[in-house]
Structure 1
Amino acid sequence: MDLHQLRCFIAVAEELHFGKAAQRLAMLPSALGRHIRMLEEDLGTRLLTRTTRNVALTDDGAVLLDDARALLAQAEAIAKRFRGRGRDRATTLKIGAIDSASAGLIPLLLHDFRQKRPDVVIQLVEDKSIRLLPRLLSGRIDLALVRPPEHPDKSIELLFLFHETAVVAVPEHHSLAEYDKVTVQDLADQPLIVPERRSRPHSHDLTMKLFAEAGLQARVAQLAEEKQTIVNLVAANIGVAIVPRWTSRMAVTGVRYIPLEVTAGGGMNKLPLAAAWVRGTRDPIRDEMLETLRERLGIYAELA
């Protein structure tokens, strides 16, 4: 039994729905179910009863819920106290970032931050939002640049930064490659490479909703998880892809990036970027980084 398993159990017990609990924890439902099973095996008892429609607490689950809440609150209080003590002496900041932020925002932010604090060592972790947020909660990273979840954990503080600009990645010899800009209508008959929704819901929904708003059906030719893979598939002439503009900094030969034009009021707000940290924690270096981010946010937003 570990604290993360207890956190998973509490979320399911409060939501009584695996999908909603997984969204709240920014996890995949399959991973959440695995942690619940491991907890039940460790304790040697069934904590939840599950049917295709309902989730309910067993008698043992109801008993554990109060104890788990108390234990987790105590553990978080201890962690906050010692993180604050350690931060007074620490000169290392661990930052997690999604791939487009790693390619675009992170270099700008670190350049500006080092003007103030050249003594601080920055450790970077690049991953998906769905994996970075659990790392944040467990203390393995201090700050995360992520797509904000629809139902964030109450322990997480979020600062909305801006919406990233979308562009279209096309093979360099494609018929659209010489366009100065394209519309969704220009892509109506094009095979599309789209991120998988379970791991990249914002990026997936960007493509699907832009087509829906234009009254078109997206012609999905290939699903992929990683932005680098998506761009490589574009280079291999598998299809075209709608991606964040900062993705163009991932050097791949044979790909052109073209501005995407949408009608006024169109759905270009599908790629939000936010800074996330654990609520109530004391961390002077992290807060200095956030101060730099706020000071320079207007410049960063223009480049996104």
Structure 2
Amino acid sequence: MDLRDIEIFLALAEELHFGRTADRLHITASRVSHAIKKQERRIGAPLFERTSRTVRLTPLGKQLRDDLLPARRQFQQALDRAVVEARGVTGQLGVGYSTPWCADLVHRAAKALRDRHVGCTVQTYEIQFDDPLGLLRRGELDLQVSELPVHEIGITTGPVLFREPRALMVPAGHALAQLGSVSLQDLADAQLITPRGNIPKAVLDTHLPTHTPSGRLIPRGPAYTFWSEVPALVAAGLGVSVVAARAARYHDRPGVAFVPFHDGPSLDYGVLWPSTGPSSAVLAFVDLLRGTTDAEDGERPQSE
């Protein structure tokens, strides 16, 4: 299996969609299909289960993904470090973040960058939900750490830094607050508070669906612009909100409860930067972000 085939396999293992994988790698869907079939013939067993509607990893495929990811990661880090050393790291970085826990990570990495590269400074910005990619598109940021997935022209998705289980923030007196866990089906029994603005479609489809897996309509509650509005809306009984599980540590207040999901996707956080290409300072900062998450239990991607 050559390096390009490994890249195709790992991209499909993450996207679980042939078209998105092709777009991400700038190749055709038939090239993706051919590469996977070639790998499966060589190995002698299927790596993916395919239907007309879904693509899933087989147990063998999951094992191969888990075995390859650390090697891919080390390979990329080695290349990134070589680029950084060749170009040097200077200047000011504009770095955005979307949540308090992303802010904590960004500030730790910023301190490490300043300590390591005296000529480099970092200016941080909080990303607002009504325009989550605006600062990046307008060139006011060099990179940002925020929710994935994002499939937008002009924006490159870097590494996933950590995967977070999801929870549902509900009014303390709501029937769902009495449960030990909730499912995606339960969203049909409450009004879902959603952000207004230019939210990436992939994020909306993944984390704020319009229908449950069985096809039930998920009612919409009030819309918000700033996150600080959400706990107050929930406490007032006006709806529920899908959040990262650790939001209970940052946003707990009287009148709300946090109930974990026992199904559905994780809430992934990663790095985004303009597709014009990362500078040496950006590459150095991303390397430090990775190192920071490595050092913290529970933050590293489960598959890496």
TM-score w.r.t. length of structure 2: 0.56
Residue aligned with 1:231, SS: helix
Paired residues for 1:1-304 under 5 Å: 89-90=90-91, 92-98=92-98, 100=99, 103-115=100-112, 117-118=114-115, 121-128=121-128, 131=131, 133-146=133-146, 147-153=148-154, 156-161=155-160, 162-196=162-196, 198-199=198-199, 201-206=201-206, 208-209=208-209, 211-248=211-248, 249-262=250-263, 267-268=264-265, 271-279=267-275, 283-298=279-294, 302-303=298-299
Aligned residues: 208
Residue aligned with 2:257, SS: strand
Q: Against the structure 1 CA distance between its residues 280 and 202, is the aligned structure 2 distance closer, same or farther, given a 3 Å change threshold?
A: closer
Instruction: Find the aligned partners of 2:295 and 2:181 in 1 and give their Cα distance.
Output: 23
Gaps of 5+ in 1: 1-85
Q: Against the structure 1 CA distance between its residues 122 and 233, is the aligned structure 2 distance closer, same or farther, given a 3 Å change threshold?
A: same
Instruction: Find the aligned partners of 1:175 and 1:144 in 2 and give their Cα distance.
Output: 37
Cα deviation for residue 241 of structure 1 reads 1.7
Cα deviation for residue 255 of structure 1 reads 1.7
Alignment identity in percent?
22
Deviation string 1:74-133 (CA, Å, 9 cap, x unpaired) is xxxxxxxxxxxx98543x4321122x3xx1122034225524634664322112478454
Instruction: Find the aligned partners of 1:163 and 1:125 in 2 and give their Cα distance.
Output: 22
Deviates more, 1:278-287 or 1:167-176: 278-287
Instruction: Find the aligned partners of 1:88 and 1:115 in 2 and give their Cα distance.
Output: 13
Question: Which structure has the greater CA radius of gyration?
Answer: 1
Instruction: Find the aligned partners of 1:220 and 1:282 in 2 and give their Cα distance.
Output: 38
Deviation string 1:221-276 (CA, Å, 9 cap, x unpaired) is 323333322222001111222223344323543222111111xxxx415x443312
Cα deviation for residue 218 of structure 1 reads 0.8
Q: Against the structure 1 CA distance between its residues 192 and 276, is the aligned structure 2 distance closer, same or farther, given a 3 Å change threshold?
A: closer
Query: Does the aligned pair in 2 maintain the 1:196–1:224 contact within 8 Å?
Result: yes
Deviates more, 1:144-153 or 1:232-241: 144-153
Query: Does the aligned pair in 2 maintain the 1:132–1:144 contact within 8 Å?
Result: no
Query: Does the aligned pair in 1 maintain the 2:193–2:224 contact within 8 Å?
Result: yes
Cα deviation for residue 301 of structure 1 reads 8.6
Pairwise CA RMSD of aligned residues?
3.5
Instruction: Find the aligned partners of 2:214 and 2:294 in 1 and give their Cα distance.
Output: 30
Query: Does the aligned pair in 1 maintain the 2:183–2:262 contact within 8 Å?
Result: yes
Instruction: Find the aligned partners of 2:247 and 2:208 in 1 and give their Cα distance.
Output: 19
Query: Does the aligned pair in 1 maintain the 2:184–2:212 contact within 8 Å?
Result: no
**Other-structure match for 1:68:** none
Gaps of 5+ in 2: 1-86
Cα deviation for residue 136 of structure 1 reads 2.9
Deviates more, 1:228-237 or 1:104-113: 104-113
Instruction: Find the aligned partners of 1:215 and 1:282 in 2 and give their Cα distance.
Output: 42
